[in-house]
Amino acid sequence: MLNLIIFGPPGSGKGTQSAKIVEKYKVTHISTGDLLRDEMEKKTPLGEEVRGYIDKGMLVPDDIVIRELQETAERHMDTPGFIFDGFPRTIVQAEMLDKMMEERGIPINLVISVDVDEQELFKRLMGRAEDSGRSDDNEEIIWKRIEVYKSQTLPLLAYYRKQGKVASINGMEPVEEVFENISHAIDSLMAV
């Protein structure tokens, strides 16, 4: 099984690259951001609970996100693999994911870390804001999301580096070139 994490700041291209990875490697895409926004759109009690965090650019509490992730992953255990997008974002989430995958004998194989500088992130997200309809795509909250990423999520890279699982990818290049470099990293892993 090919189990991947795509890791990077808001606007680094995690969603864009996940779609291409799914098409080529037939893995199941799980984006916790998409799952939570879906609940918000449906105005479920969970959606209403998480709206306050997402609209402020803050992380949703671990217990809520972990429950969503687990329930979704359980429904897809017959997949050839997973790509986790936007999860994990804290050490608690990473430890839970490792435990869940290792218990099933399907550990995470690779963490694809996409690097993009802050001004470019801001430019991309302000561009997307024009038609995304996302309540967190506005100037103030975009900067907040970038700050939250740096303080709460970036430290996770050290956790995965210790496990020797990180492939760093330059996300400043055009979409197709970024994907080519990601594909190389995945193919090298599969060739081992």
Beta bridge mates, 166? 111
Q: How far is the CB of 1 from ligand AP5 (least distance, A)?
A: 21
When asked if residue 122 is in the footprint of ligand AP5 (CB under 6 A), the reply is no
Q: Would you count residue 12 as binding ligand AP5 (CB under 6 A)? A: yes
Pick the stretch among 39-47, 102-110, 120-128, 183-191 that binds ligand AP5 (CB under 6 A): 120-128
Question: Dihedrals φ, ψ of 167, to 5°?
Answer: -110, 120
CA distances from 92 to 24, 62, 88, 96, 178 (A): 31, 7, 8, 6, 29
| Cβ density class 129-158: b for 16+ within 10 Å, e for less | beeeebebbeeebbbbbbebbeeebeebee
32-41 helix and 62-74 helix, angle to the nearest 10 degrees: 100
| 161 tagged catalytic | no
Residues 27-86 touching ligand AP5, rule: CB under 6 A, are 32-33, 36, 53-54, 57-60, 65, 86
**Residue 175 in the binding site for ligand AP5 (CB under 6 A):** yes
| Closest by CA position to 186, among listed 62, 12, 26 | 26
Residue nearest ligand AP5, CB atom distance: 33
| Helical axes 45-54 vs 62-74, angle rounded to 10° | 130
Least gap, CB of 8 to ligand AP5 (angstroms):
6
Tell whether residue 108 is a contact of ligand AP5 (CB under 6 A).
Answer: no
Active site residue 124: no
DSSP 12: S
Q: Which of 14, 37, 124, 165 is catalytic?
A: 14
Per CB under 6 A, does 139 bind ligand AP5? no
Residues of the shown chain interacting with ligand AP5 in the complex, contacts defined by CB under 6 A: 8, 10-16, 32-33, 36, 53-54, 57-60, 65, 86-87, 89, 93, 124, 127-128, 136, 145, 171, 174-175, 178
- Catalytically active residues are 14, 89, 128, 134, 145
